[in-house]
Amino acid sequence: MIDLSTKYIGLHLKNPIIAASSGLTANIENIKKLESNGVAAIVLKSIFEEEILQQEKDLKNEVQKDSLIYSELSETLDYIDIHIKEDTLNVYLELIRKAKKETLIPIIASINCVTNYEWTDFAKKIESAGADALELNIFLNPVDTSDKDFEKTYIEITKNVTKKVSIPVSVKISQYHTKPAHVIQKLSETGATGIVLFNRFYTPDINLEKLELTQANHFSNENEYLNVLRWIALMSKKINCDLAASTGIHSAETIIKQILAGASAVQIASVLYSKGIDYVSVLLKELENWMEKHNYNYLNQIKGKLSQEKIQDPAAFERMQFMRYFSGIE
């Protein structure tokens, strides 16, 4: 009997596969389906600050179209942003309650935040709605050219939220940082119980026939895991919080690699879209097969086996690797 269980941010997971935050984790039917196919935990679709603003715009447009709805002098419309936010938050809290009621696996709520103060109060409500943990998907746009100190904002948001709630808080970060090692280190010292490496962003492409900008694939491909692997391997033994790997994890082998590098769990999204939710059971089966073949009984036996724990100075290490890698090529 192979034991795939693992601990991630204080949650006991029956295996390392977490359904990453995506459109598939936005409704109760899919959440139940994910559970029955074996995922160990679910990160709910993030609630977005921007989305609330968009809804406000849509609703206002609708008002202008509906001749019966009265808008002049209306106090309700005057505060419509606040009402929409309240309604959206209530719908989200309801999803948490429902997911908790109808499944047995840990449910991790996710907030996409860009500002510091708005969400701390909401974090408390998420906690009382029953979420087992909270993932902060802090989205600071890498194309911002101002001299705003992004790293500081990350730390401040994390600090404020962890102060307010007692459930575990993880932070999902992007790969765009001047000094990822520093940010990861700082976050772990600030109170984050876990860090998710990395979020994946919208990528533009160019259509050569129409000569226009298009949206590149929404979904990752199976080679995209390499950068994640590097940072998990580099950091997992240097910090005292858990890491979860996300982006480009499409096969059981990649899951094993991330665990070997030191991840406590993995989060998958694209593969659930491309191969279907049932594919989770295939992944689990393959994980067991690999373990069996390599004579491991417990996942913990392989966790962090290949992390670069001895590396004191990752920068020097990377420079060395770079030199060696290219030195043979002429």
Partner 1 sequence: MTNNPEYFKAERDQEWRVALRSQIKNKERTSRERVKMPEQDPNIRNKNSLEVNLGLTEEQAVSEAQRCIDCPNPTCITGCPVGINIPKFIKYIEARDFLSAAKTLKETNSLPAVCGRVCPQEVQCEAQCFYTQKLKKPAVAIGHLERFAADFERNSGKISIPEIAERNNIKVAVIGSGPGGLAAAGDLVKMGYSVTVFEALHEIGGVLKYGIPEFRLPNDIVDVEINNLRKMGVEFITNFVVGKTSSFEDLKAKGYVAFFTASGAGLPRFMNIPGENYVGIFSSNEYLTRVNLMGAAKADYDTPVLFGKNVAVIGGGNTAMDSVRTAKRLGAERAMIVYRRSLDEMPARIEEIHHAQEEGIEFMNLNSPVEYFADESGRVNRMRLQKMELGEPDSSGRRRPVPLTSSEYDVDVDMVVVSVGVSPNPLIPSAVDGLNITKWGTIHVNPDNMQSNISDLFAGGDIVRGGATVILAMGDGRNAAAGIHAYIQQTLVN
Ligand X SMILES: Cc1cc2nc3c(=O)[nH]c(=O)nc-3n(C[C@H](O)[C@H](O)[C@H](O)COP(=O)(O)O)c2cc1C
CA atoms lying within 13 Å on the CB side of residue 94: 7
Which of 67, 240 has the CB closer to partner 1?
A: 67
Return all residues near 297 (Cβ < 8 A) that are at least 6 apart: 1, 2, 3, 291
Q: How many CB atoms lie within 10 A of CB 55?
A: 17
Cα(23)–Cα(45) distance, integer angstroms: 6
Does the protein bind partner 1 through residue 292 (CB under 8 A)?
A: no
Which of ligand X, partner 1, none lies near 269, with the C-beta cut-off 5 to 8 A by kind?
ligand X
**Binding of ligand X by 248 (CB under 6 A):** yes
Asked if 37 is part of the footprint of ligand X (rule: CB under 6 A), the reply reads no
Q: How far is the CB of 17 from partner 1 (least distance, A)?
A: 36
Stretch touching ligand X by CB under 6 A, among 17-25, 92-100, 206-214, 231-239: 17-25
Question: Of 76 and 215, which CB lies nearer to partner 1 in the complex structure?
Answer: 76
**Candidate ranges 68-76, 223-231, 244-252, 269-277; the one touching partner 1 (CB under 8 A):** 68-76
- Nearest approach in angstroms of CB 61 to partner 1 is 7
Q: Which of 270, 284, 299, 307 binds ligand X (CB under 6 A)?
A: 270
Nearest to 267 by CA among 93, 2, 3, 8: 8
- Rounded to an integer, what is the distance from CA 245 to the centroid of its chain? 9
The answer to whether 40 and 13 have CB atoms below 8 angstroms apart is yes
Q: What are phi and psi of 19, to 5 degrees?
A: -75, 120
- Least Å distance, CB 81 to partner 1, is 8
Ramachandran angles phi, psi of 173, nearest 5°? -115, 165
Task: Supply the DSSP string of 205-269, one letter for each residue.
Answer: EEETTTTEEEE--SS--TTTHHHHHHHHHHHTTTSSSEEEEESS--SHHHHHHHHHHT-SEEEE-
Closer to ligand X by CB, 4 or 108: give it: 108
**Residue-wise burial string across 275-289, b where 16 or more C-beta atoms lie within 10 A, e elsewhere:** eebebbeebbeebbe
| 3-class SS of residue 303 | coil
User: Which of 37, 161, 172, 229: binder of ligand X (CB under 6 A)?
Assistant: 172
Check residue 45 for interaction with ligand X (CB under 6 A): yes
Answer yes or no: are the C-beta atoms of 272 and 279 closer than 8 Å.
yes
Q: Name which position in 29, 65, 72, 147 contacts partner 1 (CB under 8 A).
A: 72
Footprint of partner 1 on residues 104-123 (CB under 8 A)? Answer: 117, 121
Among 269, 283, 287, 291, binds ligand X (CB under 6 A): 269
Q: Is 276 in the site for ligand X (CB under 6 A)?
A: no
Considering CB distances under 5 to 8 angstroms, the limit depending on partner class, which of partner 1, ligand X, none binds residue 77?
Answer: partner 1
3-state secondary structure of 321: helix
Which positions lie near partner 1, rule CB under 8 A? 56-57, 59-62, 66-83, 85-86, 89, 117, 121
Which positions lie near ligand X, rule CB under 6 A? 20-23, 45-46, 110, 112, 137, 172, 199-200, 218-220, 246-249, 267-271
